[in-house]
Structure 1
């Protein structure tokens, strides 16, 4: 039987490009090859697995179609095709020609219409089976007994073949022709087809069930009620137009015959040339059994999103053992004690570090082998011996495992290798879950916990593993109901897969020259963060209540002041009402900015630009800050107090930020504002444990010092060496006055420039922040670079070197790639340039404090100090300080911080410190 496959080329290349948009595949020349790779991968899957006899690839052209003539707004909301995707399409067509596949395109018609026309022709032929390869739902209208949709899978899932039997299940209609009725009613936001306002998918399905079609609905509107009746009757023409726009044309005058579509032998020389040019190593190996050279920033073999099939446990020989008796235990502990490295993974009953009960531990130290040890407290001493040994401990998202074991009194000593951290370091823009890595790096899909958990009696959802990319039981999964043998195999597989990932990721770290960063900084920091998180910090509820009452009084005062200034009461939390007050009634600006829907813009950025124009603006900004502080922190913090410890335990994340800075969540203790009086007050609620004091140690102007060191600017370095106020010194140079003559406004302006330069501040941005004319701001920036020419040279040099190499590095050796530096789009390129300048500065600051934390933690443990490190907040470390240890410990902490990562040019590093009865007093 002839099997015809019609590929929607435009949809497939769009899908491939955007599926990998966060971390594109690039060859060594920096060319984005994601679209070409994804299209080729899908094509090979079809050729290898589906055995087509006929095949064609359809593309849109840039010419307008009849739909644009009927409705000029058709697809008008779509953004221009990304330049890298546009550049890929000619190469996709080259690939088609290399495979001797016809490229089907015709001005005035879309790929949908060409596919629809050929599919209908095939229906009239005897014996043809047609498969339309596309993710586009509109093609469902063409489905018949011999015409099917072949929809590629998402995120590694299998493709789906959709025939008439699945129409009702997927779209809620029983005939393909009713798909266009559905689209006529509900519209299509992707193509800007309007439909009938207020009618969505479910309503459209009900109306089709009731009236049979769009025409049936429009002819019987008298049976409708209320607003629905009004909307349908008011949009009759629009509904008919929408259906027309959604209908695929099936009589396109394209001259192509069955011989043209008949599958032919490919031109291997041309295919090899393409694979070599774009460095498709895995595709070359897949097709020819060899590998094309690879030197790019992305590896085409590590992309699971477009792969259709994976190996599973049933396909791979394995040896997983359940530890059942003392003999098995003795054998396991003997092997663990004698080995140089092993992987472990715990199974628990909860995501909560304090509530989780340990069910068992899986171990692996050889590919396709694993052991599962059911936990019993009687094993604690033997486990402590294993976990305190010198062997390398491998795991995935180890911080969770280490935290649970720490809470159980089973601390684990390093060295560590966390495959999640390693992957985040190598490919920060990708996902880092174990399943994702297994599929992408091993071509293997692990068993899902939901597949082995018995169906819950209450019919709850299987909400899987949402915490930190770690596979752990969701709230509705009863892991204790899993038969022991099934749990043992599942857990052993996890350990085995993680062990295999260790082999891949250790090589990846070496290939990307990131071993030093991982081994000296990120891996040793892991247990430090565990100890800090589990220690937590004390919250004073009485102080918090006092702050709440004071802030609420200020909120009420501000609300009354705003209403009085507006001349009438209104809903302060309504952007619409606020916009009307500011711009219709108070007429604050002549031409206020509006949103796409025509509503006045009242966001923080817009209002901040108007600060000082009218007292109501400053009052609104303070009101918003106060209400946000109250809801985000003051009202929420008590809910984060752990019942067992009566302390707040945040979660620290090592590699969420591309620069390497630590992040804090649940609760976020790093974003408490410090520039406003209201924000600073919240710190008063954080207090030391009884008998202790809080110690704050803060790097002083560290990013400016790093910038001066990296730039080698002797003038700025000299200011730091002589312990001058850098902002006063800068102001004196920029304004051409003595330091004694510098005014407060001049120092403020210099401070804004000093810090703004790091983030690529523009004359417009500086004028907005200082409330001065743009010309004056531009003059300040020009004067700044005149006085500090080495800073400008550093910025230009950094961009140029990054453009050449594709990446920038910190002093600690951390790397970050910037392929967008080669973009022809000025906005995209400008954003990449600013980030490239900032990363070595901010990233080096992150490296510095991480190294300091590792060394301070070692000091506290080695000398058995009672003081504890509690928090890291950007450039600041917070401690519970034993007053008896203050005189000896504080100088040691400061010394370790100042010497953690010496700066070039002997730029001095200064750490300021303070202590007190609460965080505010200490800071």
Structure 2
């Protein structure tokens, strides 16, 4: 990689002043002098010619050019040091006008062939250039006529100045001494003097007398401001007296000469970018060869195109690839069955190649679109799948192929050509050497959406055409095709009333010419984004992390997607039937309760007026539908009902319309009574209805509430104050009194979920009658069933794919801000690890009747990371050494005294303790008594709560969150946090240090250096936003590192023989687990390989990584095999599993 870093103003001002513009130049008066002004065109031409000459000389492409400009108030920092800095360098206003015109022409021309420009407010270009030269990788060539930048030469950074390469313009000494030279000699151009009359001759005498060691010593004396110490050397070089006499100016001059790399791209003043992309030729002939060229490749020009493209691909830094696909009717039916036919969903597994785009070339200027399954037309015949593959195969395996969303391209092309590429020992049938710009985007800024069109708009300032616009055509009604496409809208022209039809086509129902621009666009944008993302990642030193962590997991999850996982609809149906029974039984209880209290819908209303609400209620009872109208006049409402009755052929509604129109209340009430069902009208998902039931009718005390919104905080001060008081009351009930007025306000924020009910039953049971408790228990049971219906039964009912009957879930890499996975179609991350709903995991089955599901779960992953990161002795004792402790028992032992009281613990020491025992030893003895013993059970319960607190706190959970999650008083949650803090003080110190670092830098890092960008929150004017952002720093250090650990294990699994030597299937990373299906015959060997992949050392982490092995006949029924690979234990569990299977 070789880049050009252009000192934009230096190059452009040189061009503006290089000779006289005889055609467009003109004279003006400036400061009583006649000044000749060259035109913007003249300066632009000279600067562009100069730039192209340098590009040619150094063999660099425009896409690798970074133009560095000055930000606003660029001189501010240095003029504060010295008022005369760059004084007297003013230009005539006309010169500045022409310069700025030329600058925009120059920047635009180069941006349109892929260059970028950057700047920083309050910082000079020299400092920014030095920063880029230091932090970018590969060869960095600075182009400037400013000799100061020679100080950047070295370690891969070079200077091209007026045709000279890497020369120090100030003399025969190492460039690192240029600031010392300028401190002593000064800079006539920048207008600072250095030491009075200490010129070049004196500097060379200094160098000759003392050598570079003397310059090193001078540098130290200047930086320490101890130039008076030179007195003893004046005898050897009398000019040193001038340095001593002008010491203050020397110090200032040194400060002015230095390049402030450390002040560039900081949190408060980050680099600003204008990112270019290679666009079509727009009239600048000198750049024509670098501009975008798009060509359609078909059967008629394929041979010629392939011969030409081979050499261009070889010259490319990388290639970008994008595919267009179509799906058969089965895909439409499959999506419709899942209510996903609105166009926002794609059947990836059912997608078939229609066309393929590739961008390549030295400047990434050539884009070809290869047609494979489009509608053919004269002169444009489709290519065979082998021909398209042959084009892709021309990309050398060592050359990176960039795509945007590898979880689409990888599976689709595997289905197309996997058999042809199956023998590849590294990629096993998948497209070779792929990197995903969607994932790169996450490393650059994980806080924004990563869709290509959104990124193109935000980063490139380029608006892409969307899919709907390309695939939709409008026809006069009656002229639309009947054998292609689907009608999505009919409408009438407002001017003439003519009817039109919009028809959307699939890609294989359109010609290649029609989609050419669209098919090429994604490749071009992907190339531009990749170029910019690479620059940013190099500057942040995250590119190598991205390469190591993200490359092969993308292949592994693509393989898992292709293979799919067997899913038992019968098992799910059995669970659903059981839940239906639970729901009906619970509803029977709740229904009786609601009828007793005469809930809405139980008592037939008798209407006494024709208010709009009354008419709407009557209509709903009579028809079972909602009257959706804003009219309020009785006769107009009657007309609306009449029209509805005609449209729906509803005779009773027609009678109602007449009664409403005539004002006949008697008829209205008779119709209502005849159609009234007398059933309670309640929606358990409606917060409004649930508040009425829970807090008004049952009288449930308010225990937990939602926080106020920012809008409420600004405009509803009484509510804000009531919420604030409530929070204080929860933390300390005796510290504040909640009055009736507060309760009325708090009702608006009271929660109505299962947690709210659980709190009431746990802490206000005496205030609730037995009958109310029955109703609350019924509501809880129904809500749990409703949750499982929405999360599981609905989403999984029709999710098995029409091609093979398996589930093909997409794993979305880096989808979370910590770069953990999310999942979709269905969301496997929603499969719980504990609780009632864990049973649903049983639906996931092995790939063969003689196989098992194997899960290896990182054991205590977050706590191990926290122990290593914090180096807390107590937590380290749980994972390092010969006598390992249990972290949850440590927390529990600290909580004993706080929870049970010091006197009670003292008595327990007397009864159960031994000399030398500490609280941890005592707790272990109490827990060893067993659950049948009162103290044994109390201790076990205390450990369970401590375990939950440890994990929740590790995720950044504060006392209120812990209280709600564990259904415990807020005071107890604070107590457990206090115990944890006292037992593991180093963790809190490390978390605080992480927050402080984040407040200073604006980001947090993983072990390997990937960043979580938090500057926006840190710089917020809202203190809560600042604190929230800072707290995320420690979470990122742990969670982001955990994500890296898992992906590195996945990469090792891909590279091992686990998937290729043994009869296995990769299912997915789910939470902290890697889930696979392994045949019985290969289990022992395959599990050993898998376990080794997961427990390999991670980065610089010294605490060992452990993986808990479990196997089972399905994903729900898992037999635990321990944290270590013990063959006998695994074999024993395997035999037990198949004994049950064979018996069944």
* TM-based fold match above 0.5: yes
Does 2:473 match 1:455? yes
Contact 2:445 2:1013 in 1 (8 A): no
CA distance change for structure 1 residues 689 and 768 in 2, over 3 Å: closer, same or farther?
A: closer
Match of 1:778 in 2: 974
Contact 2:1058 2:1089 (8 Å CA) reproduced: no
Partner of 2:310: 334
Contact 1:388 1:412 in 2 (8 A): no
For the Cα contact (< 8 Å) 2:264–2:271, is it kept in 1?
A: no
Segment drifting more, 597-606 vs 802-811: 597-606
| Paired position in structure 2 for 1:346 | 323
Cα distance in 2 for residues equivalent to 1:369 and 1:783:
64
Moved more, 317-326 or 535-544: 317-326
Residue equivalent to 1:434: 452
Alpha carbons of structure 1 residues 550 and 900: separation in structure 2 relative to 1, 3 Å: farther
What is the distance in 2 between the residues matched to 1:771 and 1:450?
Answer: 49
When structure 1 is superposed on structure 2, of 845-854 and 340-349 the one drifting more is 340-349
- In the TM superposition, 1:611-760 aligns within 5 A as 611-612=761-762, 613-614=764-765, 615=773, 616-677=775-836, 679-690=837-848, 691-721=850-880, 722-735=883-896, 736=919, 737-742=922-927, 743-760=939-956
Give per-residue Cα distances to partners, 1:447-498, cap 9 Å, x unaligned. Answer: 5555554615366369xxxxxxxxxxx9934333443334334323432332
Q: Give the CA deviation at 1:520.
A: 0.5
Match of 1:869 in 2: 1066
* CA distance in structure 1 between the aligned counterparts of 2:528 and 2:584, rounded to whole angstroms: 60
With 779-788 and 569-578 compared, the bigger mean Cα shift is at: 569-578
| C-alpha distance in structure 1 between counterparts of 2:1048 and 2:449, whole Å | 26
Q: Call closer, same or farther: CA 1:534–1:459 in 2, change over 3 Å.
A: same
Q: CA deviation at 1:276?
A: 5.0
* Structure 2 equivalent of residue 7 of structure 1: none
Pick closer, same or farther for the CA change 1:674–1:862 going to 2, 3 Å. closer
Aligned to 2:653: none
Report the Cα distance in structure 2 between the residues aligned to 1:714 and 1:696, rounded to whole angstroms: 31
The aligned counterpart of 1:516 is 544
- When residues 894 and 388 of structure 1 are mapped into structure 2, their CA distance, relative to the original with a 3 A threshold, is farther
The answer to whether the aligner puts 1:318 opposite 2:476 as a matched pair is no
**What CA distance in whole angstroms lies between the structure 1 residues aligned with 2:956 and 2:1057?**
39
Q: Secondary structure at the match of 1:320?
A: strand
Q: How far did residue 322 of structure 1 move?
A: 2.3
Contact 1:415 1:524 in 2 (8 A): no
2:693 to 576, 581, 584: 581
| Structure 1 Cα separation of the partners of residues 814 and 517 of structure 2 | 31
TM-score using structure 1 length: 0.62
- Name the CA distance, whole Å, in 2 between partners of 1:496 and 1:577: 53
What corresponds to 1:506 in structure 2?
534
2: CA distance, partners of 1:908 / 1:273? 44
Alpha-carbon distance between aligned partners in 2 of 1:503 and 1:822, rounded to the nearest angstrom: 29
CA contact (8 A) 1:692 1:880 kept: yes
Give 1:839's aligned residue: 1036
Unmatched 5+ stretches in structure 2 = 1-72, 74-118, 130-145, 147-259, 328-345, 373-383, 419-428, 475-479, 481-485, 491-501, 600-679, 703-739, 766-772, 897-918, 928-938, 1120-1144
Whole-Å Cα distance in 2 between the matches of residues 428 and 805 of structure 1?
A: 17
Pair 1:610 & 2:721 matched: no
Mapped to 1, the partners of 2:979 and 2:747 lie a distance apart of: 42
Q: CA RMSD in A?
A: 3.8
Contact 1:810 1:841 (8 Å CA) reproduced: yes
**How many angstroms apart in 2 are the aligned matches of 1:436 and 1:635?**
31
Could you list the per-position Cα deviations for residues 789-816 of structure 1 after superposition, in whole angstroms to 9, with x for gaps in the alignment? 1112111111111111211111132211
Structure 2 residue matching 1:689: 3-state secondary structure: coil
Question: Which of 355, 361, 371 is 2:356 aligned to?
Answer: 361
CA shift digits 1:634-654 (9 cap, x unpaired):
233031110111101111111
Q: 1:922 aligns with which of 1118, 1121, 1128?
A: 1118
Q: Partner residue of 2:728?
A: none
The verdict on how the C-alpha distance between 1:900 and 1:526 changes in structure 2, with shifts beyond 3 A counting, is farther
| Worse overlay, 884-893 or 309-318 | 309-318
Distance 1:557 1:279 in 2: 76
User: Which of residues 898, 901, 904 in structure 1 aligns to 2:1098?
Assistant: 901
Structure 1 residue 501 displacement after superposition: 2.5
Whether contact under 8 Å (2:1004, 2:1013) holds in the other structure is yes
1:455 is paired with a residue of what secondary structure?
Answer: strand
Give the secondary structure class of the aligned counterpart of 2:996: helix
Answering whether residue 984 of structure 2 is matched by residue 825 of structure 1, we say no
Query: 1:382 corresponds to which residue?
Result: 390
Q: Which residue of 2 aligns with 1:527?
A: 555
The answer (yes or no) to whether the contact 1:708–1:717 under 8 Å persists in 2 is yes
Conservation of the 8 A alpha-carbon contact between 1:393 and 1:414:
yes
Structure 2 residue aligned with 1:394 = 402
- How far apart in 1 are the matches of 2:753 and 2:306? 65
SS of equivalent to 2:1054: helix
Q: Give 2:265's aligned residue.
A: 295
Cα pair distance change 1:440/1:361, threshold 3 Å: same
Q: Is the 8 A contact 1:798 1:836 kept in 2?
A: yes
Is contact 2:397–2:433 with CA below 8 Å preserved after alignment? Answer: no
2 CA distance for matches of 1:397 and 1:745?
46
Change (3 A) 1:831 1:731: same
Aligned equivalent of 2:437, options 415, 419, 423: 419
Shift in Å at residue 399 of structure 1? 2.3
Aligned CA distance change for structure 1 residues 424 and 605 (closer, same or farther; 3 Å) = same
Query: Cα distance 1:775–1:320, how it changes in 2: closer, same or farther (>3 A)?
Result: closer
Deviates more, 1:312-321 or 1:409-418: 312-321
Counterpart contact for 2:413–2:431, Cα < 8 Å? no
Q: What is the deviation of 1:544?
A: 1.3
The answer to whether the 8 A contact 1:696-1:913 is kept is yes
Q: Secondary structure at the match of 1:694?
A: strand
How far does residue 584 in structure 1 lie from its aligned partner after superposition? 2.4
2:1058·2:1064 contact (CA, 8 Å) conserved in 1? no
Query: Structure 1 pair 361/760, CA: closer, same or farther in 2 (3 Å)?
Result: closer
Larger radius of gyration: 2
Distance 1:853 1:694, change over 3 A: same
- With over 3 angstroms needed to count, the CA separation of the structure-2 counterparts of 1:746 and 1:425, relative to structure 1, is same
Superposition map of 1:460-499 within 5 A: 460=488, 476-499=504-527
Give secondary structure in 1 for the equivalent of 2:1061: coil
Closer/same/farther in 2, CA of residues 861 and 328 from structure 1, 3 Å limit: farther
For residues 349 and 756 of structure 1, what CA distance do their matches in structure 2 show? 45
Superimposed CA distance per residue, residues 739-797 of structure 1 (whole angstroms, 9 cap, x where no aligned partner): 22141221122113211221333334444445554444433322322221111211111
1:542 and 2:559 correspond: no
